[in-house]
Amino acid sequence: MVLLASTCFFTTQPGLSLLFKAYYRVDHIELIRPRCSELGLDPYLVSALIFTESRFREDAVSEVGAAGLMQLMPETAQDMARLEGLPNMKKEELLRPELNLRLGTLYLSRLLQRFPSEDLALAAYNAGPSVVEEWLEDGSKLRFPETRAYVAEIQKHKQRLKNLYPEWERVP
């Protein structure tokens, strides 16, 4: 609650709002908003996920091999590429923002359709859909502390982005 209140305070102060916008710099919004509109996704959610995953670094590659803005695992990206009619996608192409956003948003969209809540879809993005399905079958919630923190982090960033960029509410 304190974070939300502080975000509202900071974004109503002109100088501090500029500082927050510098911190929450959103690159590629010209790609994000139309793709979100196409798939029925929330651009704040997608931007918060990208901020959490890569801080909008196009060349980000994790220790386990997740790549690009949305930190896609090559196998997941390949599955999404096939669905998008791109069967010959190469792993290094994941560092291209347009392709990474195209595949990552498709994956997120499919997770949001598969799971009953946004938080569970985000947990699946982080821990994997089969893990989250196991948790649901066991009747447990988000079992991994890292996954709970990941979901909370994205939700926090999503709210801050909404406060900073209210103009995104308008359809592109």
pLDDT tens string 136-151? 999 988 889 999 999 9
pLDDT tens per residue, range 79-126 = 999 999 999 999 999 999 999 999 999 999 999 999 999 999 999 999
Fold of 2-110+145-165: Lysozyme (1.10.530)
Predicted confidence band of residue 5 (pLDDT cuts 50, 70, 90): very low
Q: What is the 3-state secondary structure (H, E, C) of the chain?
A: CHHHHHHHHHHHCHHHHHHHHHHCCCCCHHHHHHHHHHHCCCHHHHHHHHHHHHCCCCCCECCCCCECCCCECHHHHHHHHHHCCCCCCCHHHHHCHHHHHHHHHHHHHHHHHHCCCHHHHHHHHHHCHHHHHHHHHHCCCCCCHHHHHHHHHHHHHHHHHHHHCHHHHCCC
Active site residues: 53
Q: What pTM was estimated for this model as a whole? A: 0.88
